Chains A and B, each alone.
Chain A
């Protein structure tokens, strides 16, 4: 009871409230700039928290985190450019929706999804943290490998149209993922002597380039003096209709669970959470064809999934000191420099700090939702701006954003090269999603597998089969491949 009163006390102070507001706004602004991620935002704001009361500092940082992950959807929907890697899957259906004149609605859907995902993960964090933390410990290299493979199986079905091209795109993405110094043996692969490539093709510049530069090039095809981004204009409500909401429901239930699980695992964050949620939404959807063309289910899945990873990744961070994502790794740094140690101690000795942080997380999530819904109509007016004006600004954001990540001009070059390549790929009918999936999941799969080889002296098959979670994942993967093939086969037979 003492803790509760302390927490309430915290939130009635002007300091805390203003810090929370600043955090949400900062997160919204930074997250909506393509090239700036919530991880960066947290990292850049940590020094500011040194001069603050540690509880307030943490509240600000989690507010930035949740708002930042959400805000990435906004440029994704309006400009086909994800604001953060967590929103890459959002653009697949968010942008088409905007082009169909439903931009405001798309923002509304993304907002609702993000809030639901965030709140769910907050609830889990509040009540189930210790249990889940122990579950996350059961995941190691073998499971990471299998999860990545499972995620990759969807590649074939993500290719609208040509399956061959989809597979080619996926394979190419996987190859791109091998660039860099190999973790297991320390040898460089495809780095051409460039120090910049030794770390691999940085994901964020690649995503920015792939989506935004290719988009700019496509926009440039016509003179843009008077052409708007979308002729359909801004109409309609922010809130989905009853029917539309019922379309969202399956994703609203499924994606938070996926997101929290993904978030809990160290090394996987919003980007993977959104893709896995998107994949599963498509797998179970009765309207698969709509995916990629403005599917409400898909949009919801992606945004709900990515925000659910936020609370999920905080779970192991506070209970075990093991961050569940890059952003929480930075957050952990903030906690430690505030002199707090994660673990049992944090909940007992500094309960008020942790619970204040969690409550702050809840409030920030709701707040960002409110702000998002209220401003959706105004934000989506962006599409009334002539393409000729939007295009160069996107390039500038992309360049500045890519540079800012790591003070590196090489990242900007990667962004540009991938972007131009992306233009050609889009023009020749290669789907985007498989390349991104390959780039993200490929390294996880390969590393996970080779790591697992070095972890056991037993036969690798025995090792995998001795782990219950691995076995489950293997069965899941096999089913997910066999079932569609079988169904396809049966369909062909029936039509004969």
Chain B
């Protein structure tokens, strides 16, 4: 509960930076189109400052309690679970890159089993059947029935 304030501090700082960046960018926009983002960036900046102030106060008041009772483990961004989430995000990113370069079939063939490994799914039969089943299912629905084109991969075009 209390670690939230420290996270909030960090987040409010980031958002403040973003709102400043947006604020400056609006000066490059010509005409009436600039007003709305301009106002929003100010609003966002103000809100982030309020959040920052609130969190600072909270942290100040509870400094002693925080020092003794809160450990690293309470931080949502610490530890193996966060790392795992990041890996998942990274794998998905690689999948999207491959999806574009070598096409749907190959990238999916690589992605699904790798993810299964990562999530420690047991039974290699599952790997084969689910991956193939999924690919066939998508292919039939999207390409055959709906005639939507999935990338064959830039290098194959």
Q: Which residues of A contact B (CB under 8 A)?
A: 29-30, 33, 44, 164-165, 167-168, 171-172, 174-175, 178, 182, 184-185, 187, 189-190, 213, 216-225, 386-389, 391-393, 395-396, 399-400, 403-404, 407, 409, 412-413, 416, 419-420, 423, 427-429, 446, 450
- Taking the closest CB of chain A, its distance from the CB of B151, in whole angstroms, is 7
Select one of A216, A223, A399, A427 contacting B77, CB under 8 A: A427
**Can you report 11 residue pairs joining A to B where beta carbons are below 8 Å apart?**
A168-B51, A184-B33, A220-B87, A224-B120, A224-B121, A400-B138, A400-B142, A404-B146, A409-B96, A419-B92, A427-B77
Give the distance in Å from the alpha carbon of A175 to the alpha carbon of B18 in the complex: 11
Closest 3 A/B residue pairs (Cβ): A388-B119, A392-B115, A220-B88
Is B66 interfacial (CB 8 A cutoff)?
no
Query: Would B141 and A29 count as touching, CB distance under 8 A?
Result: yes
Select one of B4, B37, B99, B122 contacting A189, CB under 8 A: B37
Select one of A387, A409, A423 contacting B85, CB under 8 A: A423
Task: Name B148's closest neighbour in chain A (CB-CB).
Answer: A404
Task: Name A179's closest neighbour in chain B (CB-CB).
Answer: B37
Query: Would A187 and B31 count as touching, CB distance under 8 A?
Result: yes
Give the distance in Å from the alpha carbon of A178 to the alpha carbon of B126 in the complex: 45
Interface size counted on chain B using CB atoms at 8 A: 62
Query: Would B120 and A388 count as touching, CB distance under 8 A?
Result: yes
Give the distance in Å from the alpha carbon of A178 to the alpha carbon of B108 in the complex: 34
From known contacts A168-B15, A185-B30, A221-B81, infer whether A392 and B116 are also in contact, taking CB-CB under 8 Å: yes
Select one of A165, A172, A190 contacting B51, CB under 8 A: A165
A184 CB contacts on chain B under 8 angstroms: 32-33
B31 CB contacts on chain A under 8 angstroms: 182, 185, 187
Is B82 interfacial (CB 8 A cutoff)?
yes
Query: Would A399 and B96 count as touching, CB distance under 8 A?
Result: yes
Query: Would B151 and A403 count as touching, CB distance under 8 A?
Result: yes
Q: Mark B1-38, 1 if CB is under 8 A from A, else 0.
A: 00010011001000100000010010001111100110
Is B70 interfacial (CB 8 A cutoff)?
no
Give the distance in Å from the alpha carbon of A470 to the alpha carbon of B109 in the complex: 55
Give the distance in Å from the alpha carbon of A392 to the alpha carbon of B41 in the complex: 36
A187 CB contacts on chain B under 8 angstroms: 29-31, 33
Task: Name B141's closest neighbour in chain A (CB-CB).
Answer: A29
Task: Name A183's closest neighbour in chain B (CB-CB).
Answer: B33
Give the distance in Å from the alpha carbon of A413 to the alpha carbon of B95 in the complex: 11
Chain B, range 79-114, C-beta contacts under 8 Å to A: 81-82, 84-89, 92-93, 95-96, 99-100, 104, 108, 111-112
- Taking the closest CB of chain A, its distance from the CB of B75, in whole angstroms, is 10
From known contacts A187-B30, A220-B119, A423-B89, infer whether A395 and B150 are also in contact, taking CB-CB under 8 Å: no
Give the distance in Å from the alpha carbon of A175 to the alpha carbon of B25 in the complex: 12
B92 CB contacts on chain A under 8 angstroms: 213, 216, 395, 399, 416, 419
Query: Would A393 and B134 count as touching, CB distance under 8 A?
Result: yes
A388 CB contacts on chain B under 8 angstroms: 115-116, 119-121
20 more contacts with CB within 8 A, not counting A224-B120, A391-B115, are A44-B147, A167-B47, A175-B41, A178-B40, A189-B37, A190-B25, A190-B37, A213-B92, A217-B85, A217-B89, A223-B84, A223-B119, A387-B119, A391-B88, A392-B111, A396-B112, A399-B92, A399-B96, A416-B96, A423-B85
